[in-house]
Structure 1
C-alpha cells in the first residue's frame, strides 16, 4: 500500500471515530482509534471564540499541523481548553485534513461585589475569592468561592453564615456578580469540659489552652472562636503541660467539638488519660564522641535525681550538650535521652547518649501558613540555613523561639526526606495571629498628680517584619503630662542584636513649690549571651528643667531667667536647665515559664551606669533586682513569689544633683506614695531621694475562689519592706530629715485580672512600720504596665 493511501485511511478513521464531545461538567467521550495508528492534519479551524480569540484556542492545543497525533492529544487539548475557565463547552473533531474546534464561551465577569458583609470588609473578601473582574464566569469556581467566604467567617466565629450569589447581565457577554452574605450570629463556645482528669481541675486545664468559653468580654478577646487548628494546638498545649509537671504517659484520647445548630454553640470535650506522676531517678551521661568525656558534660545536666519529671529540663539538657559537642568540632552530634522507668516507685532514670550522629544536611527550609509574617523573620530564628549541618536540637530550639515571639497561634516543625539520603527538608507550619493592641493605663497617686491616665498603641510585628513599635501619651492633674515613643529592631544589621530607641518627655508640678520637666532619648542594643542570659547597652541623653510653680509656657516648656521669670531658689535645686548624659550596661537572666503569668523561674537584672559624658551629672550607679517564682501547689495553682532589690549611687566629681539620686516608695513598698519614703526637706516636705536602697517582698497568689479560672481573676496577699537612706546632694533652705537607715514595712491584699484591656491590678496595703514624715497611699490600682 502506498504511503498516501495509508494517510487517507488514517484520516478517514479519525474523521469517523474520533469525534470528541465534552459536556459542561467535563465528561469526555472518546472513540479510540487503534493504538498503532496516528493522524496528521494540515489546518485548524476555530469556531465560537469571539472574545477569547482564535489564537488563544490554538495556543492551548497539543495538536499541530504536520505533526502526527492520537486520541490522547485530543483528550489533553480538551482538558487544557477547559482549564482556562473561558469555555463552557468544547468539541473537537476532524473533517478531512482539518481539525475543527468548536467552543462555547463563558460570560465574562464585569464586576465582583459583596453585599451584607459588615464583619469582614470588601478588600478582605476580595483577597479570599478567586473569581475576579475581567475573568470568566465559572460556576465551579463561584461555588468554591462561596465555601472560601464561609471559611473566612468561621475563622472569626461565625459558622452560621450563609452565602448566595446574584448575577446581572450588562451586555456584550458580561455580567456583574454579587456575593450576598448573611453573616448570622456569632458562633459561641458554650462549654469546654475534660474527661479523665484527676490531678488538675477543669479550671486549671482551661487556663492552659488557647480556646476559651464565651463570656461577657469575648467580643473583645475573640478567644471563643473555634477552629480545628486551634483545637490541635490545644491538644499540644495539654500534652506539654502534663509532660512538664511529671506525667510522661499523658495522652489526649480524643477532642471533639459538636455544633448545636439550634443554639449556634459549640460544646468541646477533651478526653484524656493522665497516667501516673513520676520523679527523676538516676541521671547519667554517656559519650562516644572522641575527646568529649561524660565528665565534661555532666555539669550541663538540668535534670536532678529526685525532682519531679519535667520535659523542659530534658530539652534544655539536650540543647546544652549539643552546643558543647558541636563547639568541639562535631556539628552532627546527636543527643538521645533514654528512659529507665521504675513502675513500682514511679521514677524515670535518664541516660543521655551522645554520639557523632549521622551526617545530614539541610536541603531547604520550607515555610507555610504565614499570611502576614515575612519568611525571613521566621528563618532567622534558626541557627542553621540551607546547606548547613542538620541538628534536631537546633530544630527544637527554633520552635521554642518562634513560640516565644508571640506572632503565631501555633508553630509546628517537621522534617521530610530531601533529594538525597543525606538531605533533609525542614517544614515550618505557622498560623499568624493579631499582634497589635490598644491599651489604656490608669493609676492614682493621692496628694500628688491624682488620677493618672495613659493611652498607648503597640505593635509587636510591624508590617510583618518583627519590629516593635509603641506610642503612648498620658497625663494627670497638676499639669502632669507624659509622652513616649519606642522602636526596636530585633535583628539589627542581620545579627541577633535587638537595637532600638526611646523618646520621652514629661512635665509635672510639686506641691506648689516648683515645676519640673524632662525630655530626652535613649539608644539601646541587646545581645544574647545564652538562651537565658542577655546584656543591654544604653546611652541616655536627658534635659531636665526646674522652674517656679506655674511657670510653664503655652508650649509646655518651663520659663527660665531669660524669660523674665524670677530666678528664685527653692529647697531642692536652682531653677534652670540641666543636662544628664550617661551610659549603662544591664545583665538580664530570665528563666520564667511565662512572661504574662509566671509560675516558675527567675528574673534577675544587674545594671551599672556612669554619667559624666558632658552635662551636669557625674555619678556611678549600681542597681540589682531579682524575682523568684515557685508553684506551691499545682492542684490549687498557688504561686509564691519572692523579690529583692538594692541600689547605690555615688558622685564621681563633687556632689550629686537631687535628680541623680534614687527615689523610693509605692513601687517598692506598697502602702506609700511613689516618692513617699526617704530623705525629705523638713519644711517643704519635698522628696530629696537617697543614695542607697534595699527592698524585699513576698507574695502569694491563687485563682479567685468561685470564679472560673480561665477568666483570669486572681487574689493575692503580700508583705513588703524596704529602706532608702543617705544623701549626697547640695540643697538650699531648711535641714534634711530621714537620711538614716530606717526600714518601712507593709502588708496587704490584691486582686489581679488579665483583662482584654491589659493586666489590671488593685492593691490595698497598710503600712505597719513607717516614719512620721512618710507619705502614705493605702489604695493603689494600675492597668497595663505603665504605673
Structure 2
C-alpha cells in the first residue's frame, strides 16, 4: 500500500496555488523613493528589482512592472510576487515574494536491492532542484517505473518532506522496499550458441532490462568486430521466467591482401570503409580501392595498382586485394613555359618539390595554387593550359612541365 506523508507544503503542491497581485496606485510622475522587499532568499535584492523594472529615483510604470513580474517568473524560482505602492509624487514600493522550495538533500532508507546512488539517479527529483506544483505521486510513479525496468516490479515507495530552518529549503526522505525481483529461469536463443558467452545476463539473474539492452549492444558489437554486417536481433520476450530472442549474424566479410611488401596489412585494413558503412556493394568497394591507392600515392608509389577479386558462398564474402606496388617515384625537374614570373617563385607556390616524393593527387591543388597566386598579382585571366608529367625510369623520377597562359595584368590606378 502506497503511503505519502507531507508537511505544511502539501497544500501548496497539491493545489498549486498560484497568485500574482499587482496593485499600484500612483500618478504617472510618481518617483520611487524607497523599496522594501520581503520573502526573498535565492537572489539579491538588486537583481530582483532589475527584473521588475523598479529603481530608486526613477519613475514607476505599472506596465513595465507587470512585464517585469513575468520576466522574474521565468527564473523558475518564484511561486508568488506582489508589488504595491502608496499614492504620491515620491512613493515607497512594497515587494512581497514567495519562492519555490528547493531540495537540499534526498535520503533513502528501507530494504532495497538497488544501490542508494542508483535510486537517487533514477528518481526524477534531484538535490538542488526547485520543486514545481506537480503532485509528488508522479515522481513516485516514475521511480516505480524505473525500478520495474531494473527487475523490481513490486517495489513499495513512501516519501515525505522535512522543512528546514533555512527559508524555502526542504529535505526529501524516501523509503524504498524493492520487493521480490523478477528472476530469469532460462535463456532461449535461436542463433549461435556462442552468444550466451557475450552476455552479462544468465539464468538465475535478475531480469534487468538495462543490462539486457547493453547485452544486445554487446552482441551487435561482437559480430561487427568479426566483420559481420548488420546482425538482426528480434525483440526479446520475457514470459514465465524465460527470456527468448533470435539472432541472425548476417553476412561475414573476409579480407585478404597480397603483394604488399612496403605497407603493412594492418595499415591498409585501417583504411577500408566496410566496417563504418556496415555494408558491402560496388560503390563501397570502389571507395575501398580509392582509399588504398591514396595510401600508396602519398608514399610515392605513383604506379601502384590494385585488383580486387570478390566471391561469395554460405553468407561469407571473400575479398582478395592483389597489389602491384611499383617503384617509389620522386619529383624530377619542374619547368614552366609561357611565364614572365621567375620559375623559382612559381616553384615555391607548389606543394610538389624537386627531389621529394611525387604524388599525382597533388597536381590539381598545385594547379589551383598557381592560379590563385597569379590572381593575387592582378593576372585575372591566367590559365594553366597543361601540366605534363614525364617519367624517367632510369632514375625513377617524374619531370613536370607546366604550360601557362598568363593573360593581361590588371593594374589598379590610384
Whether TM-score is above 0.5 comes out as no
TM-score norm. by structure 2 comes to 0.44
- TM-score, normalised with respect to structure 1: 0.26
Greater share of strand: 1
Higher RCO (CA < 8 A, seq sep 6+): 2
Structure having the higher helix fraction is 2
**Considering only CA atoms, is the larger Rg found in Structure 1 or Structure 2?**
2
